Amino acid sequence: MKWITILALTGSTFLILTGTAIYSQQTVQDARIQPALIEARQVSNELAEKVRELLLKEMEKGGFINAIKICSEEAQRITHSIRVQKGHSLRRVSLRYRNPRNIPEEHERKRLEEFDRLNREKKLDHEYFEIAREGDKEYLSYMKPLIALPLCMTCHGPKENIPVEVKSILAEKYPGDRATGFLVGDVRGAISVKILLRASK
Ligand code: HEC
């Protein structure tokens, strides 16, 4: 798979107004990209907001078992239903994943590593995108970082702060769990969206 950054295409099709990050926050003057970008923003926000909203509700009720289901089964259900409805590729990915289904692909791994670096430097944006090429197809590859909030700590925070009941469910369901030890403000992972732009000639 060949990944082309927007910068590489500047001359011909795109106009970049900010030059700091390679693939963030550009005003892209390309008719093909705009609808895909709007769509990527919409589906990633929908997924992030629904999961956060449902988590908050369950956490307020105080039961961990249902809350755990929100970030696992419910998140997967929402992701799947958006994918089926819209036909895009949509996933949650993380360098320190809990479920091996969420292992990032190579390009996602590179971006996630970059998100960690930018976050440490306090330069992280809320979204990143680039044009990707796979065979004769072009895609908008869009990633939205997910930041660890206080709400996330019960299940993703330092092990010593995770309630015993949660720890035992996690140990049983996710024996290879890598998704603890995060602090508030860390990049917990990202939502990754891929939308077909058009087949090349
Ligand atoms: C009540 C427990 C719980 C809380 C609170 C929780 N999560 Fe999770 N999270 C999980 C579980 C369980 C999984 C495994 C999901 C699966 O099986 O796909 C997970 C998986 C994830 C993943 C997918 C990557 C991976 O590690 O497999 C991301 C991203 C994520 N959580 C982000 C968050 C964020 C951000 C918050 C706070 C807004 C949060 N979670 C709060 C339990 C929780």
Separation CA 109–CA 93 (nearest Å): 9
Average pLDDT for the chain: 85
Reply yes or no on whether the pLDDT at 72 is more than 60.
yes
Smallest CA separation from ligand 1 atom 21, residue: 71
Best residue among 71, 73, 115 to mutate for probing ligand 1, ranked by most atoms within 8 Å of CB: 71
Which residue has its alpha carbon closest to ligand 1 atom 3?
155
Mean pLDDT of 151-160: 96
Residues with CB under 6 A from ligand 1: 52, 55, 64, 67-68, 71-72, 76, 92, 94, 97-99, 101-102, 146, 148-149, 151-152, 154-156, 179, 188-189
- How large is the average pLDDT for residues 108-136? 94
Cα gap 100→23, rounded to integer Å: 27
Q: What percent of the chain clears pLDDT 70, i.e. is strictly above it?
A: 83
Asked whether 135 and 121 are in contact (CB, 8 A), the reply is: no
Closest by alpha carbon to 178, among 103, 105, 97? 97
How confident is the model at residue 34, as a pLDDT? 87
Nearest CA to ligand 1 atom 14: 72
Flag whether pLDDT at 15 surpasses 70. no
- Burial class of residue 187 in the structure, from the number of CB atoms within 10 Å of its CB (0-12 exposed, 13-18 middle, 19+ buried): buried
pLDDT of residue 86: 87
Whose alpha carbon is nearest atom 39 of ligand 1? 152
pLDDT digits 0-9 by tens, 75-93: 999 999 999 998 899 999 9
37 CA to centre of ligand 1 in angstroms: 25
**Whole-number pLDDT of residue 8:** 35
- pLDDT confidence tier of residue 2, bands split at 50, 70 and 90: very low
The stretch 116-138 carries a mean pLDDT of 93
Residue 96 has pLDDT above 80, yes or no: yes
What would the pLDDT profile of 16-56 be if each residue is shown by its tens digit?
Answer: 333 233 444 444 556 778 899 999 999 999 999 999 999 99
Give the total residue count for the chain.
Answer: 201
Contact status, residue 68 vs residue 156, Cβ threshold 8 Å: no
Q: Which residue's CA lies nearest to atom 37 of ligand 1? A: 152
